[in-house]
Structures are given as structure tokens and as C-alpha cells.
Amino acid sequence: MQIVRYPLPEQWPSITERPYHDNRSLLASVKNILEQVQSDGDAALLRFAQQFDGAQLDVLEVPEEAFAAAAAALPEKLKAAIRDAAQNIEVFHAAQREAGQVVETRPGIRCWRKGVGIDKVGLYIPGGSAPLFSTVLMLGIPARLAGCREVLLCTPPAKDGSVHPAILFAAHVCGISRVFRTGGAGAVGAMAYGTQSIPKVHKIFGPGNQWVTAAKQLVQQEGVAIDMPAGPSEVCVVADADANPSYVAADLLSQAEHGADSQVLLLTDSEAVLTSVQAELGRQLAALPRADVALKALGGSRLVLLRNLDEAMELANAYAAEHLILQCRDAEQVATQVRSAGSVFIGPWSPESVGDYASGTNHTLPTNGYARAYSGVSVDSFVRKITFQQLSREGLEGIAATVTEMAEAEGLRAHAEAVRVRLR
């Protein structure tokens, strides 16, 4: 990892810079895939399953009996873990539902807001070497709590055409019965446009590789909503002299193993911690099954030594990490300084991995600095907030002069007349 000592503020932009990938040629390829899905529907998706996943499929939808088979195939301990995580996620997200509050802005004028679930949503779940069945819970549970009428899931098939049993079991736990064996940009296109088998949805959720991300960005330009811009995983750890170097190294590696394009950042005011973490990274890395992936990610990552913890927090806010871990004394107080982050992990007993799986918070979070303006997925992500108003004659009389004066000043006579006609 690159080591930076006592950087000046003008050097901070280079520290907060993410790995750059020129995706112009990728966008052209993704656009071609989307066009094929739009024109050929299921036939295109079946071709892509053969081309990209090595799977020969006759139909895209997972048959009903596969869910029972998946449950039977999974170890009981894993099923119990999935149910336990689902319970925590449900408890946290259920508290996000808002009861509509009626506000009387003046006598006779009642206004309120009501959350209504998005009718049709599509969830994308990555497969391959790391099938993210935990993401099924993170998306499926808030979708159900929000009251979405139709929830479908797309995920890449294995070479034998199957879907990982943990993905199917998690889908069943969430109440999702429609799962389709299609991945990558093609799956995004299917949910955006609809095919013979896959319904068109109103909003697409879920992480993915650069192909999936590019496809989501392109269909968004065509009017299909997406959860958020998303890129490679990232973590920033703020540590002082009280931090345990082995904990810090483990947290950094837990994100580095996601992919070669992931990025991890350590901000510390202790030279001793920086040196110890560097040694711990080497020791722990050697024991990881995905050490080659993590090692590539560390090559684009940084250890930064700063003058004090306040400076470290300023830089952390400038970085706006997907995951921010505070390993320092008075961590709860330090957390009050956080202005930009996807999710924050406070103190030595809060590893980032608990948020990924089972603490209850959502792990679908903004990356690449988007935490400056975007929130992570929540029940709100699956809801439209509709405003209502109801006026009595008294209420309209009380506001009539205000409305007609403003409407006439804007040159919109019909707006004013819509009030006057009622009061004549």
C-alpha cells in the first residue's frame, strides 16, 4: 500500500481519488447488449447465458420446486444464520416506516404525506465466485415492508443452469417467488424493458460489476429508476494510538477481498499504528483464500499519517467512504463529526462485516464518493411519498387572496380563476 505522511490540504484530492477506469469501450458493449435484449427478449438472454455463464437454458424462470430443493440442500446452521440476520434486518427497517401525520397549515387547510410502495421492483443479485445471498435480504426485506406489489429477482446461473441454493432460500425468506436465471447487463436490460418472461419494472436495485453498473446508468437515462450509482467496495478506517492493529488490518482486508478494484484507506495520527497495521496486513493476507484479489486491491490503496484526529476526520469526510470505521478513543463522540459516509462502525467491537450481514443496517451503500449526496438503501428507497391536501370553504377563503395574487403576478390567470370560480 502507498504510505502518505502528513499530506498538505492541497494533496487531499489525490488521496481521496478512486481508481480510474476508462469505460468508454465498455459502455458501447453494454449498449449493444441492451439493444439485443430490447429487440430479442428472452432469446437474447438465453444466448447470453450460454456466452457469459456457460449455461444451456431452456427457460429463464426458476421452477417452483427448486426453492424446496434449495432449502433441503443447505446446512441447517446456514439456514439458521440467514433467518437470524433476516430478523435483525426486519427489526431495523420496520422502524423506518412512517405513519402519515396530518398538518393543519391554517384553519380549514389539512395537508399530509403518505408513503406508497413502488408497484414493481427488480433486484439484481451477483452470482459467480461470491454469490451475495445476503444482498437478497438487504433488498427483499425493505421491499416487502414498503408494500411493493411485485418483486422479482435476477441472478446469473451456474454452468449447470442452477442458482445457488442460499440465494433461493434467502428469496423464500423474503417472500420472493419469481427468480430468473440471467445476469450482467442483460439482466438489467430485461428488468428495464421487459421480455416475454420477465416483467418490466419501475425501479432496479442491487450491486454488480462494471457491466451491471454501466447498464444501470444507461437505462436510467431512458427513464428507469435505479437505487444509486454504485462502484467497487471501499472502506476507510480512522484509527488513533488506542486502536488494535490486528482489528484494523482485518477490517481493511475484509473489503480488499471483494475485488481487485476495491479500495481501502487508513487514516491515523499514530506512526506506531501505521507500522503495526502494515505488518499485520502482510501476516493476515497470507492466510486468506482470496489473497490474490486482496493484494491487487491493496495496490490501489493508502495508509495516511496525519497530525491529529480532527484532521483525520476532515479527510474522512472529504473521502465520503461507503464504510467508515472509527477505531479510536471516545469513538462515539468522534462519530458526531461524520458528515459524509454510507454506514459508520463505531468502536473496537463493530467490524464492518456485521453490517454486511446481520446487525440490521443495510449494506447496499453509495460508493465512489456518492455518500456526499446519496443515502444507502432503506425502506424509503422502495417508497414514493405522495402529498395530499384537503380544504374546506373556510380554508380556501383564507388563502384565496394569496393564491390569486401570486398567480396573476406570474401571468397565470387560469390558476387564479380556479380559486375565484369557487368563491363567487
* Residue 369 covered by a domain: no
Please state, in angstroms and as integers, the Cα–Cα distance from residue 90 to each residue in 67, 330, 359, 376, following that order: 21, 30, 10, 16
Q: Which of 280, 323, 352, 363 is catalytic?
A: 323
**Statement to judge: residues 202 and 297 lie in one domain:** no
Name the pLDDT band for 129 (thresholds 50, 70, 90): low
392-402 tens-digit pLDDT: 999 999 999 99
**Nine-digit cell at 241?**
494510538
- Give the pLDDT confidence score for residue 242 in this predicted structure: 97
Q: What share of the chain is helix, strand, coil (3-state, %, to 5)?
A: 50, 15, 35
> Quick check: is 323 catalytic?
yes
In a domain, 387, yes or no: no
Spatial distance between the Cα atoms of 177 and 171, rounded to a whole number of angstroms: 7
Q: Are residues 86 and 190 in the same domain?
A: yes
Q: Residue 348's closest CA among 213, 211, 245?
A: 245
Residue 340 lies in a domain: yes
Residue 380 lies in a domain: no
Residues 32 and 8 in one domain: no
Would residue 112 count as lying in a domain? no
- Residues 309 and 401 placed together within one structural domain of the fold: no
One DSSP character per residue, 153-170 reads: EEEPPPTTS---HHHHHH
Q: Are residues 353 and 398 in the same domain?
A: no
Other Cβ atoms closer than 10 A to 376? 20
Helix (H, G, I), strand (E, B) or coil at 56: coil
Residue 381 lies in a domain: no
Pair 350, 329: CB distance under 8 Å: no
177/205 same-domain check: yes
Name the domain count of the chain: 3
> What digits encode the pLDDT tens for the residues 332-382?
999 999 999 999 999 999 999 999 999 999 999 999 999 999 999 999 999
Lowest mean pLDDT among 164-168, 169-173, 191-195, 228-232: 228-232
Which of 360, 375, 406 is the last residue in one of the domains? 360
Ramachandran class of 407: left when φ > 0, alpha when ψ lies in -120 to 50, beta otherwise: alpha
The yes-or-no answer on residue 322 being catalytic is: yes
Catalytic residue among 90, 257, 280, 322: 322
348 and 396: one domain?
A: no
Q: Which pTM does this prediction carry?
A: 0.94
Domain ranges, residue 333:
2-19+232-360
Element (H, E) at 65: helix 65-73
Pairing of strands 109-117, 103-106: antiparallel
Given this model, what pLDDT does residue 208 score?
Answer: 87
Note whether 73 and 192 are same-domain residues: yes
356 in the same domain as 414: no
Whether 93 has a pLDDT exceeding 90, the answer reads: yes
Q: Are residues 222 and 250 in the same domain?
A: no
Place 20 in a pLDDT band, splitting at 50, 70 and 90.
Answer: confident
CATH assignment of the domain containing 200: 3.40.50.1980
* 267-307 tens-digit pLDDT: 999 999 999 999 999 999 999 999 999 999 999 999 999 99
Q: Do 196 and 87 fall within a single domain? A: yes
Kindly state whether residue 385 falls inside one of the protein's structural domains: no
> Do 210 and 239 fall into the same domain?
no
pLDDT at 236 over 70: yes
Nine-digit cell string for 117: 410502495
Residue 296 lies in a domain: yes
